Structure 1
Amino acid sequence: MNPVLTELVTRSGGLVIRAAAVQVVPESTLRWACRSGELVRVLPEVFAAAYLLDSRRGTGPALSQLDPAQGRRAALAWADGRGALSHLSALAVWGLHRQEVGDLLHLNVPAGVGIRSRPGVVVHRQQGFMLEPPHVVVRQGMAVTRLEQTLVDSWPTLPPDERRVPVIGAVNGRLTTPERLAAALGSAPKLDDRAAFRTLLTRLAEGCRSPLEIWGHEHVFTGPGMPVFQRQAPIRLGSRTVYLDLYAEPERVNIELDGAITHGDPRQREIDLRRDAQLAARGILVVHFARRRLVHEVEDVRQETLAILATRRARTVVPRRLA
């Protein structure tokens, strides 16, 4: 390949647009690089160095053979300021989803923009969408839809059993709040499975912070006899603050829900034991329930919890003095 063109391609990370290339070399040089197989057109006006493509990575258009990060760069270069990464592509940039080679790329564009979907790229037109804040932000040097809109847009494109994970991750990571997500959801009245999204936001607003906690809330720790637990209750232990999964303050009982990974990690178990001892010194009883029991022994866990709470209440009753 022409050394000047080679330098341009190298400086641009393996991707180059036609307008930039013809500023430094003749059009014929660009065509020759494509005919010789050193450059491959992945989108109109966008070319990639052949070494970036791997036919074993995907089938179909050349764009699907690029690493997802390079594919997102190529899509934005093709849009040329007329669109922003959206849906699962934006979700990947936000660090809440992993795109695989060959996955479709998504762009949001204003309603009047004249670019259309291409093999490997889905273009979404949205009324009222603008390529400026608050609709679009720049993250990792790329224009992406704001997080709340990204999560709402991505909801129906994910398999049902994977939809909650990025929403929970965004709230746990303090990237957004259930309230801001609820406002974004309000602008999508026809969203698929919208009721499940709203229920998830309600659980997150109530303090649930994992799928296991949501399961516990909906199937185990509500109903007759159960107190109103404080979820993720902050407790100061020395120089640090810990958060209790389900805390019944009058009985001073903390219910901890142990996921499969946490429960099987010896280091995490040691940390939990140390924390449990510190809480015990404060008069707080810690009760652990593993995921297996929560899911498969629902009634047993309920009855065990109620018995523990009743025992703690009885111990706090001051006996009357005999006459």
Structure 2
Amino acid sequence: MPVTRLDRTLVDCWPLLPAVDRPGLVIRVVNDRLTTPQRLVAALAEVPRLTGRAAMRGLLDRLAAGCRSPLEIWGHDHVFIGPGMPAFARQARVRVGARTIYLDMFAETERVDIELDGATSHGNPAEREIDLRRDALLATVGILVVRFSHRRLLTDPAQVRQETRAILANRRPRP
């Protein structure tokens, strides 16, 4: 029986899946470190006439930029780019003592971490407590954590954009 690499299998299966399920599968295998966006791009290059190719390539570009969830991709495309927005480092790795923390979107000059909390995040007090402790730990090294909820990001992106710009402007070092 022929065997194919996971990367090529995902590319070949892309048009066979319901459109709504396609991004989630690819995001999951990248987040689980079963493959990388770069390997998927190489596999996509082997299939020049793939149905849905542009959508897959767009998703892979977002994953290569560091987006790790559908909400982060939506925020990237609709809120956190354009005039007044820095080039955020996505999934920036920060060490605080013995702990390594990954930040959703880090504006290094301003020392601001923007966290996008998904629709199911923080449904219980234990998850919220973990976030509060993490935010306090980041504050010890001068990093301000700003959290936007799934609902707020989707229903009021202009206000989120405006608040983000104001926070970043206020945190910029003065000459």
| Bin for the TM-score computed over the shorter chain | over 0.9
> Aligned residue for 1:162?
21
Q: What is the rounded CA distance, in whole Å, between the counterparts of 1:186 and 1:292 in structure 2? A: 36
Query: In the TM superposition, what is the alpha-carbon distance from 1:262 to its structure 2 partner?
Result: 1.3
> Aligned residue for 2:174?
317
Instruction: Name the count of aligned residue pairs.
Output: 175
8 Å CA contact 1:232–1:246 kept in 2: the answer is yes
CA RMSD of superposed structures (Å): 1.0
Post-superposition Cα deviations, 1:145-193, rounded to whole Å, max 9, x if no partner, equal 3210111111111111110111111111111111110011011111111
The gaps in structure 2 that reach 5 residues or longer are none
Indicate the structure with greater helix content: 2
Query: In the TM superposition, what is the alpha-carbon distance from 1:266 to its structure 2 partner?
Result: 1.9
Post-superposition Cα deviations, 1:209-228, rounded to whole Å, max 9, x if no partner, equal 11110000000000001000
1:196-211 superposed matches below 5 A? 196-211=55-70
Post-superposition Cα deviations, 1:76-128, rounded to whole Å, max 9, x if no partner, equal xxxxxxx3xxxxxxxxxxxxxxxxxxxxxxxxxxxxxxxxxxxxxxxxxxxxx
Q: What is the rounded CA distance, in whole Å, between the counterparts of 1:265 and 1:146 in structure 2? A: 39
8 Å CA contact 1:263–1:269 kept in 2: the answer is yes
Q: What is the rounded CA distance, in whole Å, between the counterparts of 1:152 and 1:165 in structure 2? A: 14
1:277 to 107, 114, 136: 136
Post-superposition Cα deviations, 1:23-52, rounded to whole Å, max 9, x if no partner, equal xxxxxxxxxxxxxxxxxxxxxxxxxxxxxx
2:56 is aligned with what amino acid?
F
Bigger-Rg structure (1/2): 1
TM-score of the superposed pair, with normalisation by structure 1: 0.53
Using CA pairs under 8 Å that are at least 6 residues apart, name the structure with larger relative contact order, 1 or 2.
2
Q: Does structure 1 residue 260 correspond to structure 2 residue 127?
A: no
1:230-249 superposed matches below 5 A? 230-249=89-108
Q: What is the rounded CA distance, in whole Å, between the counterparts of 1:264 and 1:190 in structure 2? A: 43
8 Å CA contact 1:263–1:290 kept in 2: the answer is no
TM-score of the superposed pair, with normalisation by structure 2: 0.96
Q: Does structure 1 residue 177 correspond to structure 2 residue 3?
A: no
1:279 is aligned with what amino acid?
L
1:273 is aligned with what amino acid?
L
> Aligned residue for 2:146?
287
2:8 is aligned with what amino acid?
Q
1:72-111 superposed matches below 5 A? 83=1
Q: What is the rounded CA distance, in whole Å, between the counterparts of 1:307 and 1:156 in structure 2? A: 42
- What SS does the aligned partner of 2:56 have? helix
Q: What is the rounded CA distance, in whole Å, between the counterparts of 2:126 and 2:53 in structure 1? A: 39
Q: What is the rounded CA distance, in whole Å, between the counterparts of 2:99 and 2:34 in structure 1? A: 22
The gaps in structure 1 that reach 5 residues or longer are 1-82, 84-130, 137-144, 319-323
1:317 is aligned with what amino acid?
R
1:272 is aligned with what amino acid?
D
- What SS does the aligned partner of 1:242 have? strand
- What SS does the aligned partner of 2:127 have? helix
